Structure 1
Amino acid sequence: MNVQTLTSPTVAIDAPAPIEWWRGAVLYQVYPRSFADSNDDGVGDLAGITAHLDHIASLGVDGVWLSPFFTSPMKDFGYDVADYCGVDPIFGTMADFDALVARAHQLGLKVIIDQVYAHTSDEHIWFEESRSSLTNAKADWYVWADAKPDGSPPSNWQSVFGGPAWTWDARRRQYYMHNFLKEQPQLNVRNPAVQDALLDAMKFWLDRGVDGFRLDALNFAMHDPKLTDNPPLVGNGKRTRPFDFQDKIHNQSQPEIPAFLTRLRRLADRVGAETGRARFLVAEVGGDRANEEMKLYTEGHDRLHSAYGFLYLYADRLTTELVDRGPAMWPGVEGEGWPSWTFSNHDAPRAISRWAEGRDEKRMAAMCMLLLMCLRGNVFIWEGEELGLPQAHVPYDRLVDPEAIANWPETLGRDGARTPMPWRHDRLHAGFSTVEPWLPVDPRHVPMAVDAQEADPASMLHLTRRMVGLRRRFATLKTGGMTMLPAPAGLLVFQRGEGDDALLCVFNLSHEAVDWTAPDGWSVVEAVNVAGDVTDALPSLAGLLLAKSG
């Protein structure tokens, strides 16, 4: 890795921070493989993203989050990193990345990139050296352990993608650990030298102008060095993998992780202070203890700025009770971190298909976009969400996601959420590429392409721009508090902010019209799925934003 070793930070953690541009921001997630193919090989690339940054900027969002584009054998499509400081040729060159950042900044967009610090690819040079012997310089950079006397793995830990979290390596005559694919060996992030190397990688991208990082699978970054067996998980939740049967308290979620996060925050604050441009760190934290770990990783002023919540990502239904869990988790007390929310992403089926329950998907998409913009915290829009794309159908013979293939037909969400972005309704493969894409374009997406929606003032695309604009129009939506209010069955009602700046948010999540009238002193400033004036009932999937009158 061609980067310089970091020196100790010269700026204290509690130094005055630059303006917090990220608080209440709207960020647009791009999956590079699926966004736009500029060189006609069927795979999206950095130049394709740059060519369409104007579309992203036109939404009114604050920035763009790029899923991995780093050098990788693509066993897990870039989340198996072989070089933290390299661009995979399938996506282009470092010059392409620099051009993307420059153009984004010209358009007023921040650039957030993924970092994967829990594991690497087995083709990373660190792992190649680590596996070569028991005594090499990087022998302790990954998690290695001897077999039990009977030759079985060192513990009962299971991998997310199925099977034991241990693979035998004949060269070292030991097992190595992997929480995901066997091609994704677990880094020993307890090792200070590993932490230093990861900080060097982070500094490399900061020096290239990125504005922040989404830190993947962060609660997997450390393990119990005693290799204690995980106990069975108590409960009767859905279990499609051996991983689901364990209470995962020893292969993840270790108490030493926050100290590593403090090192990351020091570096981000140092660079932010030196450049006068704040950097943003958001954790991806999933799993059985996500709620407590998100708060732990963001509390105070020396850890991460925000945590990326999974509350909505795998929910089968959108209910008042579901939304109520957000402000209950993040009430806004002193020293608390800041939440980030998304309804869909590259790992989960698209929300409108999960939540429509036979109702009109365009109406569901419109209501969900307004709801997303009304939540307290940062919000992420998944590519295609601005078009109201439903979950794509990908036939079994076109699946590429290792989890979907291994667990067919139970976990189909990732490929169906990652299909190519439709740009032109009148072009082959919806204008994504001139050749067969890496995943097929769903025929239902073609008439929903960007060009078709640009020409239709009533389209979801134009509605999305209006909804995103609400966060610029009303500061209360960016940083105000959130208070759940009593409401008739089927209605979701909450207030953002206090006093004259307060906003009232009302949504009919049910399948039927529900009686409701606006309280005195409030007037509607935005409405979706409502024809004419609001009188005494809200139709199904209606959404309202009201402000104080006069």
Structure 2
Amino acid sequence: MTDNSWWRGAVIYQVYPRSLMDSNSDGVGDLQGIISKLDYIENLGVDAIWISPFFKSPMKDFGYDISDYRDVEPLFGQLSDIEELIDKAHARGLKIIIDQVLSHTSDQHDWFIQSRESTINPKADWYVWADASPDGTPPNNWLSIFGGGAWQWEPRRQQYYLHNFLTSQPDLNFHNPDVQQHVLDNVEFWLKKGVDGFRLDAINFCFHDQQLRDNPPKAAKDRTGRGFSPDNPYAFQYHYYNNTQPEMLGFIEQLRALMDRYPDKVTLGEISSEDSLMTMAEYTAGKNRLHMAYSFELLTDDYSAEYIRNTVSTLEKQMTDGWPCWAIGNHDVSRVLCRWGKGNGNTDMAKMLNTLLCSLRGSVCSYQGEELGLTEVEISESQLQDPFGIAFWPRFKGRDGCRTPLPWDASQLNAGFSSADPWLPIPDEHKCKAVANQQNAEDSVLSAYQQYLAWRKQQPAVRYGSIEFIQTDEPLLAFYRQHDSQKLLFVFNLEDQPVNSKLPATATPDYQVQAMQAQWGELAGEQLRLPGYGMFIGKV
């Protein structure tokens, strides 16, 4: 592999704008708040910032329901603010990746307002419309991720429209070439603004089966994984027809052709399909599709050495010429320290998980707060904001618990996030993990994060190299990373109890990493003793 593009092996820091920093005292984070924290982000040692949607939106799904792709939601600022953010990030050597939500819009988008009026207007075929069944019911059995059927009756047209998410998020009809072109024009608008890439939300949902065939049922034992609770009826089906259609490849190739006209830009697709790893490989194959893709495979509750090893190895076999990107946390799932720690997660586990994530082959999406070891916040029903949680309460409490504001300084009002009441609560257990508490503490999660990323930048084997897993018993995960003459051995203890193991190969400890990690393994000959959540990195 000779392509050393900036995004290969990059660590991408995900910013959820509502919760990073509030600059105008309304309790909600904004673009000027992000600008005010660029020095902090730069000092983390990351390569790029992925900013979740800041576009004009009625905020039914907190920005993932866009009413104008070319303007900024006033809650977050104005167009000049994102232009300033791009310029100031570039001045610090940071790349900017923004979300593009292409598969659907808000029902308040001008396109939909026109489309819903009649079957003969100029945009009548811009969304997925269908006649009712003879008995008045929806045209098929497709379900919405956010609960209930995926079809909503529109009295103006006397037809149903498709919504894979909220009823206020109608799906665009990508079988219409005019839709494809206007979507590409919106993408190019931001390329001309100077963004460095796009995280493509739910990208495999753009096309639907034109025959509107029913999805087949899924047995109860198979209703697992992919980020959907088995309590959600969405898990009751194989979603063969409402997403991941073969026509998507042609559109991806059009998108890549556009990207290639702007040097050094990148696409990162979010994939959630029945076989997400295979879809990732397919969508990144060759030189004319997506640059990178990631899925929910490491965003589930599954946590074991075997599961992580099998997941990454399976993708390695299938993605022969694409480039992976891994995440263990984001704005859609509970905080990894609670999800994988199952109540036992601590600062040692946080350090280990950050190091593990940033040691896998590929690029990395690191969600804001992971560098602090933040935990999932318990949100009461009265505090709930997320429509997903409101629909499924109390069995599923939604995504608010991972979206709470970042704590900056425990001595300040609202931990320094805002002078007004924040849109979601900041709990006491987060205040003790505030940035100000961790910045000058040598044994903090933040310090370990910064030091490891600084070391990682200097290691070609970690940024660009191959990965080869070593078969080990639970709870050990071990693998080699190699690039040219550099070969490194990584061993991680995924549990909180000490483990003794024989090294699979002669390795010399990397003392630079050892000095920054409190739970470093002790090596005596070939015998390795790892403390709870311990790790070892050695030169082979």
Q: TM-score, normalised by structure 1?
A: 0.93
Amino acid at match of 2:268: V
Amino acid at match of 1:30: V
Post-superposition Cα deviations, 1:160-215, rounded to whole Å, max 9, x if no partner, equal: 01111011111111111100000000100111100100111000000000000000
Amino acid at match of 1:300: G
2:207 alignment partner, one of 182, 207, 222: 222
In the alignment, which residue of structure 1 is the partner of 2:531?
Answer: 539
2:216 alignment partner, one of 214, 224, 231: 231
In the alignment, which residue of structure 2 is the partner of 1:264?
Answer: 255
- Asked if 1:250 corresponds to 2:241, the answer is yes
Q: Determine if contact 2:521/2:535 at 8 Å carries over to the other structure.
A: no
Q: How does 1:161-310 map to 2 (within 5 A)?
A: 161-236=146-221, 237-238=223-224, 239-272=230-263, 278-310=264-296
SS of residue paired to 1:281: strand
Shift of 1:327: 2.6
Post-superposition Cα deviations, 1:302-326, rounded to whole Å, max 9, x if no partner, equal: 0000101212111342433323321
User: How far apart, CA to CA, are the structure 2 residues paired with 1:498 and 1:63?
Assistant: 23
User: How far apart, CA to CA, are the structure 2 residues paired with 1:296 and 1:360?
Assistant: 36
SS of residue paired to 1:283: strand
In the alignment, which residue of structure 1 is the partner of 2:468?
Answer: 483
Shift of 1:150: 1.0
User: How far apart, CA to CA, are the structure 1 residues paired with 2:14 and 2:496?
Assistant: 30
Distance verdict in 2 for CA 1:413–1:175, change over 3 Å: closer
In the alignment, which residue of structure 1 is the partner of 2:227?
Answer: none
Shift of 1:547: 1.2
Amino acid at match of 1:271: Y
SS of residue paired to 2:40: helix
1:90 alignment partner, one of 75, 89, 97: 75
Shift of 1:533: 4.2
- Asked if 1:32 corresponds to 2:17, the answer is yes
User: How far apart, CA to CA, are the structure 1 residues paired with 2:135 and 2:313?
Assistant: 50
In the alignment, which residue of structure 2 is the partner of 1:530?
Answer: 519
SS of residue paired to 1:330: helix
Distance verdict in 2 for CA 1:427–1:199, change over 3 Å: same
Q: Determine if contact 1:366/1:463 at 8 Å carries over to the other structure.
A: yes
Q: Determine if contact 1:529/1:539 at 8 Å carries over to the other structure.
A: no
User: How far apart, CA to CA, are the structure 1 residues paired with 2:364 and 2:19?
Assistant: 21
In the alignment, which residue of structure 1 is the partner of 2:414?
Answer: 429
Shift of 1:529: 4.1
User: How far apart, CA to CA, are the structure 2 residues paired with 1:428 and 1:84?
Assistant: 35
- Asked if 1:448 corresponds to 2:437, the answer is no
In the alignment, which residue of structure 2 is the partner of 1:3?
Answer: none
- Asked if 1:48 corresponds to 2:33, the answer is yes
SS of residue paired to 1:20: coil
User: How far apart, CA to CA, are the structure 2 residues paired with 1:227 and 1:532?
Assistant: 56
Shift of 1:255: 0.5
Amino acid at match of 1:243: Y
Post-superposition Cα deviations, 1:344-400, rounded to whole Å, max 9, x if no partner, equal: 000011111112244351011010011011100000110011111111111111011
Amino acid at match of 1:534: L
Q: Determine if contact 1:366/1:529 at 8 Å carries over to the other structure.
A: no
Distance verdict in 2 for CA 1:332–1:234, change over 3 Å: closer
User: How far apart, CA to CA, are the structure 2 residues paired with 1:197 and 1:19?
Assistant: 32
Distance verdict in 2 for CA 1:490–1:118, change over 3 Å: same
Amino acid at match of 2:126: W
Q: Determine if contact 1:28/1:65 at 8 Å carries over to the other structure.
A: yes
RMSD after superposition: 1.7
User: How far apart, CA to CA, are the structure 2 residues paired with 1:357 and 1:181?
Assistant: 30
1:412 alignment partner, one of 397, 401, 416: 397
User: How far apart, CA to CA, are the structure 2 residues paired with 1:521 and 1:353?
Assistant: 33
1:386 alignment partner, one of 356, 361, 371: 371
In the alignment, which residue of structure 2 is the partner of 1:160?
Answer: 145
Shift of 1:266: 0.5
Q: TM-score, normalised by structure 2?
A: 0.94
Q: Determine if contact 1:422/1:446 at 8 Å carries over to the other structure.
A: yes
- Show structure 2 runs of 5+ residues with no match: 225-229
- Show structure 1 runs of 5+ residues with no match: 1-16, 273-277
Amino acid at match of 2:166: L
SS of residue paired to 2:358: helix
User: How far apart, CA to CA, are the structure 1 residues paired with 2:349 and 2:217?
Assistant: 39
Shift of 1:546: 0.9
In the alignment, which residue of structure 2 is the partner of 1:81?
Answer: 66
User: How far apart, CA to CA, are the structure 1 residues paired with 2:393 and 2:518?
Assistant: 37
